[in-house]
């Protein structure tokens, strides 16, 4: 029994020696593999860095510096938008130097279905502009609503009316002036557009006015309001209209005095 215990102990000792020897050899081999892997990774990184440096040098020789427009042309499209508000007893109109135009028109004595003031013009969805030739190589043609105008100061007259005026000067010397007069009372606004150098400003001297407007719900019953919404106009031979739910195009054969978008109770003309 004692002899068997002695043999068992010797066996355990031999196993322990073999285990330690195996662990030592494995650790040493693993360490050598890590060193070799690090050397390989460093070599690959060095090759990639050298390739990138050579590519950067090659690309730098091909770089083309684009000219930057710092003159009047740049200001026409990259100024800061500023707004100005005119009011009388029934109207509140917000004007913007971008486009030199009204971007919001509210009726102070009427409220919409959501209790807000009735808005008959909204710059987010509506647009009133015309095409021009800018004379700028990077943007030869544009809509007037894209231009940034100067001015925007309000002048008050003795009769209580207010005048706001915007002006844009193009690189070729052509000028565009927008002037609006709001009377002391009433819903009518005088709007005047003055152009100089129209032979270069307008293609074939044609003034192509573009008017976009989105009719929104003001009344409680939207379906009936849509049915009552019309495009009305006074043509040479008299007053006429067409439903906005009907035809999508109207070609005028005779002179038109005015055009209006009429909803159930409100209109913009």
Q: Give the count of alpha carbons within 13 A of 7, CB side only.
A: 4
Q: Which among 237, 82, 222 is positioned nearest to 148, based on CA atoms?
A: 82
d(CA 67, CA 45): 38
d(CA 105, CA 128): 13
d(CA 15, CA 23): 12
d(CA 167, CA 159): 25
* CA-atom Rg of the chain in angstroms: 39
Backbone angles phi, psi at 186, to 5 degrees: 105, 170
269 residues of the chain, pLDDT tens digit each? 455 566 676 666 766 666 666 665 666 555 665 666 666 666 656 666 666 676 766 666 554 443 445 455 667 888 899 999 999 999 999 999 999 999 999 989 988 878 888 888 777 778 889 999 998 888 889 999 999 999 999 999 999 999 999 999 999 899 999 999 999 999 999 999 999 999 899 988 888 888 887 777 677 777 777 777 778 888 887 888 777 776 667 778 888 888 888 887 878 88
């Amino acid at each position: 029994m004692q002899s068997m215990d002695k043999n068992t102990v010797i066996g355990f000792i031999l196993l322990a020696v073999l285990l330690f020897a195996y662990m030592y050899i494995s650790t040493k081999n693993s360490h050598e593999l890590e060193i070799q892997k690090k050397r390989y990774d460093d070599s690959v990184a060095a090759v990639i860095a050298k390739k990138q440096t050579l590519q950067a040098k090659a690309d730098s020789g091909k770089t083309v510096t684009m000219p930057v427009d710092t003159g009047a042309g740049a200001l026409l499209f990259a100024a800061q938008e500023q707004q100005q508000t005119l009011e009388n007893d029934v109207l509140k109109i917000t004007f913007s130097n971008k486009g030199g135009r009204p971007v919001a028109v509210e009726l102070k004595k009427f409220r919409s279905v959501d209790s807000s003031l009735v808005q008959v013009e909204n710059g987010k969805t509506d647009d009133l502009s015309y095409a021009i030739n800018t004379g700028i190589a990077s943007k030869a043609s544009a809509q007037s609503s894209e231009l940034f105008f100067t001015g925007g100061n309000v002048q008050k007259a003795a009769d209580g009316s207010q005048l706001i005026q915007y002006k844009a000067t193009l690189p070729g010397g052509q000028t565009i002036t927008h002037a609006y007069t709001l009377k002391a009372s009433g819903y009518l606004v005088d709007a005047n557009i003055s152009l100089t150098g129209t032979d270069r400003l307008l293609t074939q001297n044609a003034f192509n006015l573009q008017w976009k407007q989105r009719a929104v719900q003001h009344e409680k019953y939207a379906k009936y309001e849509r049915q009552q919404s019309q495009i009305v106009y006074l043509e040479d031979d008299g007053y006429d209209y067409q439903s906005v739910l009907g035809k999508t195009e109207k070609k005028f054969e005779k002179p038109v005095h005015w055009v209006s978008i009429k909803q159930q109770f409100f209109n913009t003309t």
